[in-house]
Amino acid sequence: MYCVIIGGGKVGFHLSLILQAQGHEVTVIEKDTAKLERLERELGEAAVHGDGSRPSVLESAGCRRADVVVAVTGDDAVNLLISQIAAKIFGVQRTMARLNSPRNRRIFAALGVEGTVSSTAIIADLIGREVATREIHTLLSFKSGEITIVEIDLPKSAPVAGKSLRDIELPQGALLVSVLRGAEVILPTGATILAADDRLIALCSHATEAALRTAVLGA
């Protein structure tokens, strides 16, 4: 699949890593040159500089042949505009957008923008259910929250700290995508040894989130 992602912040960056790890071709468009430098370091040629809300920029990023366009900037109006350019000008079949404010949900739905994800609503929902979310954060979720990308900060007490991945049993349906250690991004293999203060990025289904938490952070 060819995926074009607009917005190379935290969400866009991790989403790119995940999609690349799954073997998809990815282009990330970012207009801020400071953010772009980091993206280029980690993603190489997949990172492109430009204003993704301009049709010409989307076109040169190959939007016409994209299977999916995902707009994940911090500005809902920009995300909506991009999704409409992709769908109506370039005929992209699947357009997804990040919803920063749950208040905007109705217009996104009215325009048929798929998989709108409001991290604000998800976090509010978690807090509402009084779930301990201190070390685990939802970065993005798909299919109305069924599949989520989570970020886990490993405390010193974590049972997995000091263990190699091949010795750690993760629940079925959870996939560790990357390990962030200081400025370093590690694409994990079985030999990767986790350490305290690592930040783990994982993909999991909503149903396995609790099991993943227990496996990584302990009961």
Minimum CB separation of residue 130 from other proteins in Å reads 29
Q: Of 104, 133, 164, 205, which one interacts with other proteins (CB under 8 A)?
A: 104
Closer Cβ to other proteins, 57 or 177, answer by number: 57
Closer Cβ to other proteins, 75 or 153, answer by number: 75
Question: Considering the rule CB under 8 A, would residue 77 count as an interface residue with other proteins?
Answer: yes
| Among candidate residues 67, 117, 110, 72, the one with its CA nearest the CA of residue 90 | 67
What whole-number distance in Å separates Cα of residue 107 and Cα of residue 214? 38
Pairing type for strands 68-71 and 2-6 reads parallel
Question: Considering the rule CB under 8 A, would residue 50 count as an interface residue with other proteins?
Answer: no
Closer Cβ to other proteins, 54 or 163, answer by number: 54
In angstroms, the first-to-last Cα distance of the chain is: 38
Closer Cβ to other proteins, 11 or 139, answer by number: 11
Minimum CB separation of residue 21 from other proteins in Å reads 31
Minimum CB separation of residue 104 from other proteins in Å reads 7
Question: Considering the rule CB under 8 A, would residue 205 count as an interface residue with other proteins?
Answer: no
Q: Of 85, 96, 139, 185, which one interacts with other proteins (CB under 8 A)?
A: 85
Are 2 and 24 in contact by the 8 Å Cβ rule? The answer is yes
- State the number of binding residues for other proteins (CB under 8 A): 20
Minimum CB separation of residue 181 from other proteins in Å reads 36
Structure tokens at 1: 């699949």
Minimum CB separation of residue 119 from other proteins in Å reads 18
| Among candidate residues 211, 199, 204, 214, the one with its CA nearest the CA of residue 159 | 214
What whole-number distance in Å separates Cα of residue 177 and Cα of residue 174? 9
What whole-number distance in Å separates Cα of residue 24 and Cα of residue 208? 24
Question: Considering the rule CB under 8 A, would residue 96 count as an interface residue with other proteins?
Answer: no
Question: Considering the rule CB under 8 A, would residue 89 count as an interface residue with other proteins?
Answer: yes
* Alpha-helix runs per DSSP H in 53-148: 55-60, 76-84, 105-110, 119-128
Question: Considering the rule CB under 8 A, would residue 76 count as an interface residue with other proteins?
Answer: yes
Q: Could you give the count of Cα atoms lying within 13 Å of 158 in the half-sphere of its Cβ?
A: 26
Question: Considering the rule CB under 8 A, would residue 78 count as an interface residue with other proteins?
Answer: yes
What whole-number distance in Å separates Cα of residue 115 and Cα of residue 122? 13
Q: Which residues of the chain form contacts with other proteins (CB under 8 A)?
A: 53-56, 75-78, 80-81, 84-85, 88-89, 103-104, 106-107, 110-111
